[in-house]
Amino acid sequence: MEDLLLQIQTLATETPWIIFPIMLLGGLNLPVSEDGMLFIAALIAAANPEKLWPLFFAVYLGAFGADLICYSLGRFLGPRFFKIKLFASMVSPERLAKISGFYTKYGVWTLIIGRFIPFGVRNGVFLTAGLSKMNFLKFALSDLVAATISCGVYFSLFYTFGEPVIALVKKFNLVIFGLAVVFAVTYLIKMKRRKTTNNA
């Protein structure tokens, strides 16, 4: 994996826009780390300031494009999605039901906050938006805001502080993921109690 990242770094130093199609692969549930690509792009930009904007826009537009691909998979494949082996592991029907519940209660905030939760939750959120037939323009605008904030913040941090900030970002990601799990569990317990009360 490290060798692959080094090869990508070498390629991106010469051709910054190579990061864009690599980022798009993440939307197809291939193992492309958005944070890793942001770090590589920022690292190259710090060493080659004249390539800063091409590198930033390659990774930023790639992240946004990957989100749109993920949304489109859910919207156009619908229930058939779960029969395709490559995509079926993206999100289970159980997780889909949970995220759909968050959409019902919190609307686009689910999408915006979900954009910052790592470990496969992002793709699950985008996919659910597509499967639930969320309005495309609403999805695209909400995700554009979220991608602008997340990519802008992480790229700036990596560009300014380099490798030392990686450990902090990893810890932050773990905290965010932990909070998301606690929130999801609390929400499910509340829903279960409400259902029990209604059936009583």
Please state whether the predicted TM-score (pTM) of the whole model is above 0.85.
Answer: no
Mean pLDDT score, 67-73: 91
Residue 77 carries which side chain, given as an amino acid letter?
L
Please write down the HEC assignment for all residues of the chain. Answer: CHHHHHHHHHHHHHCHHHHHHHHHHHHHCCCCCHHHHHHHHHHHHHHCHHHHHHHHHHHHHHHHHHHHHHHHHHHHHHHHHHHCHHHHCCCCHHHHHHHHHHHHHHCHHHHHHHCCCCCCHHHHHHHHHHHCCCCHHHHHHHHHHHHHHHHHHHHHHHHHHCCHHHHHHHHHHHHHHHHHHHHHHHHHHHHHHHHHHHHC
**128: exposed, middle or buried (C-beta count within 10 Å: 0-12, 13-18, 19+)?**
buried
pLDDT digits (tens, 9 = 90+) for 16-67: 899 999 999 888 777 788 888 898 899 899 999 999 999 999 999 999 999 9
C-alpha to C-alpha distance for 139 and 133, rounded to whole angstroms? 10
On whether the CB atoms of residues 81 and 88 are closer than 8 A, the answer is yes
pLDDT band at 13 (very low <50, low <70, confident <90, very high): confident
pLDDT digits (tens, 9 = 90+) for 124-158: 788 888 888 888 998 899 899 989 998 998 899 88
